[in-house]
């Protein structure tokens, strides 16, 4: 109340102007410029005339001079921007996670511990042996293709001698097909022995799931490259045997026509290149930007450390806490754990995606002067699950499309049947990549991939709606299926199976 | 590997065309339309010519036909949209809070309990008495103004009789000023007695903080209305005594010139109307939309229940858990508690804001046919703390501007000094509104309001930058100060002080 006492007896402006040194009109304009400038943008244009003809009386101004609606009402002409709430959501997210970090620290202290990690010497030795086995298999693949090329050169030579009309004779000949059967069997045996040997060793002899995953992934990648190498050279050989204008090959291959691409150097480049699709020739850059490579490598290392810290400090305790809930089938608790895990696994997944697809593959491509760096597209905007699978992993997508989907369509299969085949094949590879290193081929990865098919079918209409609402809904369904059900539940189940078989992988946690 | 065995020996298209019923060109176009349509939008336009002249061979297509950059690289021409990540942020926020709800339920069960609430009969009776006291004080205010109007009418009558040149004589007369001193004293005593009586009763005799807050808020609102009524009528009276073209009053007042507005009906309307600024005439709507009223009332009730559930189920345990941490000065734990509380208090605050400013005030305005519904502007977009205080509570802002800021500026004060006065006054009111019902005048609310001044000063440059970055930063600072430091810390401290004095307000929680 002292305020009221102090300002309760102000003289009216007409009287006070005789006491004040500054005359009333001057102070009015001063107020206009100071307070008015701050508030004018908030006031609708229609209110200004009323303010302009302001009375000299301070306490009578008509602040309520017109009928106006609240800006959140439907009566309001324009709905306001919600830009601020977007910022708020981000801030709340950061604060909530900071809080969880503090909570985690108070509960567990620092769990990151270099020495606690339980890897064995046997794992390292065996891993190194498996890695060095792979080039041998590639060398065998090269020898197979070399033999095929020699045979074809022989055919061409004989053809030139017999000097018959070219096309007609060749199509009647079952020669090409018979040869291909032998070559295909040779490639299948060679590639599969490599994959089977690696899988067997990893499953039975490599204890550490990280080392196991690296070996298994490498074997799968090389197996896929082997397939692509065999198929592509098969078609190139056929085109070489049947030169005709309709059999045109991509112009980019012109610099290295068929038999000349069968060299160890060419195959080694394909082995190292960040692609699963064999081409005799790739678009290349003209020089290596080493500072670009250094930046990407630094990113990769930083993200690897980040992922390791997140896994050790946040994922491990959450997974361990979840174990007994799973064992007891406490569904509410399992849901709670999955939700907690979903944020953590999402962060790890995003970091891993960036580390692998942006940092690692770009660094590798730069060193190899590999020109086509489209390893992913903007999958995070996917308005459907199908779009996600077509955009997040371009190397695998290109392999599937070129060597499975497209040939099946060419044989008259329906796109649906071809898609089912692609996803079944992909599901098998996922189960291999996850089940073998964790020593639990329990089919969760396989099932998760197969579950994508109905999800894809369900979100196709949303993508085709072509409206903003459809996009947002499709995108939300994609994210939910991806980061809520897919990743964390899978991780939980494989972790549970692992723990059921072996107990903890880390001595520090009990 | 069965996949490889099954599809490893596809015949080349040229040979297989004799076996397949559909010729190759047809299937190619079928693939174009099915798969091509899905993937074409993803592919840059430059890639299409290469695909158009596709070979009949399926396995040789040049997927890597040009040099391209990854879309997240700086080499990329256009940076991609991050629309999907915005959706992800919202989803993660929802999931994280769902998880906390499950966690809370597993930990505490259901805490909502109607009977557990500890309110006393005395509180209700005293609250009703205090509420009914208010109209009596308004009636006294009316009588004071009536007397003043009578006196002025007498002056006008005498002036007409003496028939002297009007303006000159009146300004020399100290009559108006002397009368105003008496009227001001009468109003001050009347209004302050009402406020002091209510504050005294609430502080010493009303135990329940909710009932206490309602009584205290009502008393403060009526006190402010009383001030506005006195000041406005003072200026209207002066204008009535000194009619001149430069003393022009707002045109909206023309329908009810000065002494005619001194009626009980007019004052009662001002008492009930959703404004703190007295005007003889307000913009009115022509009829009451009862379905609009019903919707707003339903919103209000729904939000009230929602806030009660959130408070009982989430805020109470968090506050109780925080008590011992505060007592032990465990700063990390206090920070963790403040962060946890910040989300909860933010949700309660937003619900309360909407319930009061959108639902309640709009319903009240509709019933009273009060036309100006601008009770708030889009404060959530505030690029500065100052902008927030000018937009979130328009009734109080208008009162402060019309009756404190503007008159002080008129007397030659600097805008800074006037702002400090406004915030000091507002801080006193905040301390009254919070400290009295919680029986702890500990000055936290006062200090919190005074702290706004440096925050406002700090964010003014960000608002004036007029760039998107400046806006986002200013908005982030506003939200952080508002929902991280301001609300939850204040709530914690008053709750702590309350518990230190009385123990729990709810029997259900120990």
Residue with tokens 């009647």: A172
Instruction: Specify whether A91 is located in the same domain as A129.
Output: no
The answer to whether B56 touches B14, Cβ cutoff 8 Å, is yes
Contact A249 B57 (CB under 8 A): yes
Contact B340 A39 (CB under 8 A): no
Ranges in chain B, pLDDT < 70: 1-55, 117-119, 162-174, 484-485, 503-510
Sorting pLDDT into bands at 50, 70 and 90, what band is A469?
Answer: confident
In a domain? residue A169 = no
When pLDDT is averaged across residues A453-459 and rounded to a whole number, the result is: 87
Angle between helices B468-479 and B444-465 (to 10 degrees): 170
Last residue of a domain, one of A219, A248, A277: A248
Please spell the DSSP secondary structure of A377-432, one letter per residue.
Answer: --GGG-SSHHHHHHHS-HHHHHHHIIIIIHHHHHTT--HHHHHHHHHHHHHHHHHH
Tens digits of residue pLDDT in A263-272: 999 999 999 9
The answer to whether B293 touches B367, Cβ cutoff 8 Å, is yes
Neighboring chain A residues of B353 at a CB cutoff of 8 Å: none
Q: How far is CA B287 from CA A163, A448, B281, B283, B299, in A?
A: 102, 61, 17, 13, 21
Max CA pair span of chain A: 125
Instruction: Specify whether B107 is located in the same domain as B204.
Output: no
Sorting pLDDT into bands at 50, 70 and 90, what band is A23?
Answer: very low
Q: What's the confidence (pLDDT) of residue B48?
A: 40
Residue B53 corresponds to which tokens in the numbers above? 């002249």
Sorting pLDDT into bands at 50, 70 and 90, what band is A143?
Answer: very high
Q: How near does any CA of chain B get to the CA of A497, in Å?
A: 24
Q: What's the confidence (pLDDT) of residue B141?
A: 92
Q: What's the confidence (pLDDT) of residue A186?
A: 93
Between CA A494 and CA A433 the distance in angstroms is 12
The answer to whether B92 touches A93, Cβ cutoff 8 Å, is yes
Range from A7-11, A393-397, B289-293, B416-420 carrying the lowest mean pLDDT:
A7-11
Sorting pLDDT into bands at 50, 70 and 90, what band is A57?
Answer: confident
Kindly identify which residue of chain B lies nearest to residue A460, measuring between CA atoms: B38
Q: What's the confidence (pLDDT) of residue B30?
A: 35
In a domain? residue B271 = no
Last residue of a domain, one of A248, A264, A297: A248
In a domain? residue A329 = yes
Range of the domain at A485: 56-116+285-503
Kindly identify which residue of chain B lies nearest to residue A361, measuring between CA atoms: B70
Counted residue by residue, chain B has a size of 510
The C-alpha torsion from B154 through B156 and B162 to B166, rounded to 10°, is 150
Instruction: Specify whether A481 is located in the same domain as A344.
Output: yes
Between CA B280 and CA B236 the distance in angstroms is 9
Contact B38 A390 (CB under 8 A): yes
Q: Mean pLDDT of all residues in chain A?
A: 80
Q: What's the confidence (pLDDT) of residue B44?
A: 41
> Exactly one of A137, A403, A430, A439 is catalytic; which is it?
A430
Instruction: Specify whether A464 is located in the same domain as A482.
Output: yes
For testing contact with chain B, the best of A9, A11, A29, A57 (most B CBs within 10 A): A57
Residue with tokens 């930058």: B465
Sorting pLDDT into bands at 50, 70 and 90, what band is A362?
Answer: very high
Q: What's the confidence (pLDDT) of residue A33?
A: 36
Q: What's the confidence (pLDDT) of residue B242?
A: 82
Per-residue pLDDT at A163 exceeds 70 = no
Instruction: Specify whether A236 is located in the same domain as A317.
Output: no
In a domain? residue B403 = yes
In a domain? residue B488 = yes
Q: How near does any CA of chain A get to the CA of B121, in Å?
A: 31
Q: What's the confidence (pLDDT) of residue B68?
A: 87
Residue A367 corresponds to which tokens in the numbers above? 């060193």
DSSP letter at B10 equals P
Residue A165 corresponds to which tokens in the numbers above? 């009309």
Between CA B208 and CA B213 the distance in angstroms is 9
In a domain? residue B29 = no
Contact B59 A35 (CB under 8 A): no
A430 a catalytic residue: yes
Kindly identify which residue of chain A lies nearest to residue B295, measuring between CA atoms: A73
Contact B381 A82 (CB under 8 A): yes
Instruction: Specify whether A315 is located in the same domain as A445.
Output: yes
Instruction: Specify whether A191 is located in the same domain as A329.
Output: no
Contact A62 B250 (CB under 8 A): yes
Q: What's the confidence (pLDDT) of residue A40?
A: 37
In a domain? residue A192 = yes
Instruction: Specify whether B403 is located in the same domain as B445.
Output: yes
Contact A227 B12 (CB under 8 A): no
Q: What's the confidence (pLDDT) of residue A97?
A: 86
Between CA B346 and CA B354 the distance in angstroms is 12
Helix (H, G, I), strand (E, B) or coil at B376: coil
Neighboring chain A residues of B390 at a CB cutoff of 8 Å: 38-39, 42
What's the burial of B45, exposed, middle or buried (CB within 10 Å: 0-12/13-18/19+)? Answer: exposed
Last residue of a domain, one of B192, B227, B248: B248
Contact B479 A380 (CB under 8 A): no
Range from A97-111, A365-379, A488-502, B291-305 carrying the lowest mean pLDDT:
A488-502
Residue among B387, B393, B390, B391 at smallest CA distance from B466: B387
Q: What's the confidence (pLDDT) of residue A164?
A: 54
Residue B440 corresponds to which tokens in the numbers above? 């702890």
Instruction: Specify whether A104 is located in the same domain as A187.
Output: no
For testing contact with chain B, the best of A2, A4, A37 (most B CBs within 10 A): A4
Kindly identify which residue of chain B lies nearest to residue A378, measuring between CA atoms: B80
Kindly identify which residue of chain A lies nearest to residue B63, measuring between CA atoms: A398
Instruction: Specify whether A305 is located in the same domain as A204.
Output: no
Structure ipTM: 0.75
When pLDDT is averaged across residues A81-99 and rounded to a whole number, the result is: 86
The total domain count for chain B is 2
The answer to whether A113 touches A188, Cβ cutoff 8 Å, is no
Sorting pLDDT into bands at 50, 70 and 90, what band is A3?
Answer: very low
Residue among B272, B231, B66, B385 at smallest CA distance from A84: B385
For testing contact with chain B, the best of A43, A82, A88, A363 (most B CBs within 10 A): A88
Instruction: Specify whether A240 is located in the same domain as A305.
Output: no
If you average pLDDT over each of A360-369, A445-454, B256-265, B325-334, which comes out highest?
Answer: A360-369
Neighboring chain B residues of A87 at a CB cutoff of 8 Å: 472, 475-476, 479
Nearest to A232 among B60, B188, B339 (CB): B60
H runs (alpha helix) in B311-384? 316-328, 331-353, 361-367
Instruction: Specify whether A364 is located in the same domain as A435.
Output: yes
In a domain? residue B171 = no
pTM as predicted: 0.73
Per-residue pLDDT at A150 exceeds 50 = yes
Q: How near does any CA of chain A get to the CA of B118, in Å?
A: 32
């Amino acid at each position: 109340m002292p305020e009221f006492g102090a300002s309760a007896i102000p003289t009216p402006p007409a009287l006070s102007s005789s006491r004040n040194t500054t005359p009333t009109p001057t102070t009015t304009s001063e107020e206009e410029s100071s307070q008015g400038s701050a508030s004018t943008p908030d006031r609708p244009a229609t209110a200004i005339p009323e303010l302009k003809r302001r009375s000299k009386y301070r306490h009578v101004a008509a602040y309520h001079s017109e009928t106006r609606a609240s800006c959140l009402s439907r009566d309001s002409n324009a709905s306001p921007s919600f830009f601020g709430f977007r910022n708020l959501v981000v801030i709340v997210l950061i604060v909530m996670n900071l809080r969880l970090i503090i909570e985690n620290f108070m509960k567990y202290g620092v769990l990151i511990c270099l020495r606690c990690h339980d890897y064995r010497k046997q794992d390292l030795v065996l891993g190194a042996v498996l890695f060095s086995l792979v080039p041998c298999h590639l060398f065998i693949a090269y020898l197979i293709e070399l033999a095929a090329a020699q045979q074809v050169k022989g055919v061409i030579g004989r053809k030139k001698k017999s000097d018959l009309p070219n096309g007609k004779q060749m199509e009647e000949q079952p020669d090409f097909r018979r040869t291909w059967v032998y070559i295909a069997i040779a490639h299948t045996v060679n590639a599969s022995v490599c994959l089977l040997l690696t899988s067997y060793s990893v499953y039975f002899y490599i204890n550490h799931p990280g080392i196991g995953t690296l070996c298994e992934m490498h074997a799968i990648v090389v197996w896929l490259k082997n397939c692509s190498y065999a198929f592509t050279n098969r078609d190139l050989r056929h085109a070489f045997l049947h030169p005709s204008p309709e059999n045109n090959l991509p112009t980019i291959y012109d610099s290295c026509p068929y038999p000349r691409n069968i060299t160890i150097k060419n195959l080694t480049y394909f082995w190292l290149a960040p692609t699963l699709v064999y081409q005799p020739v790739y678009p290349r850059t003209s020089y290596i930007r080493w500072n670009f490579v250094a930046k990407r490598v630094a990113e990769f290392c930083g993200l690897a450390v980040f992922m390791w810290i997140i896994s050790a400090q946040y994922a491990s305790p959450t997974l361990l806490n979840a174990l007994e809930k799973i064992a007891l089938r406490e569904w509410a608790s399992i849901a709670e754990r999955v939700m907690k895990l979903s944020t953590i696994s999402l962060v790890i997944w995003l970091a891993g995606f960036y580390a692998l697809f942006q940092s690692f593959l770009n660094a590798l491509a730069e060193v190899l002067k590999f020109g086509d760096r489209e390893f992913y597209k903007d999958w995070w905007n996917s308005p459907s699950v199908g779009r996600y699978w077509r955009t997040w992993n371009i190397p695998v997508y290109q392999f599937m499309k070129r060597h499975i989907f497209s040939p099946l369509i060419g044989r008259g299969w329906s796109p649906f049947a071809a898609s089912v085949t692609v996803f079944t094949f992909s599901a098998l590879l996922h189960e291999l990549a996850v089940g073998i290193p964790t020593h639990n081929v329990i089919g969760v990865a396989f099932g998760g991939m197969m579950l994508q098919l109905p999800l894809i079918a369900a979100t196709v209409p949303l993508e085709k709606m072509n409206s903003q609402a459809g996009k947002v809904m499709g995108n939300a369904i994609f994210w939910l299926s991806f980061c809520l059900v897919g990743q964390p539940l899978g991780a939980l189940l494989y972790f549970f199976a692992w723990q059921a078989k072996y107990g903890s992988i880390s001595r520090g946690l009990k």
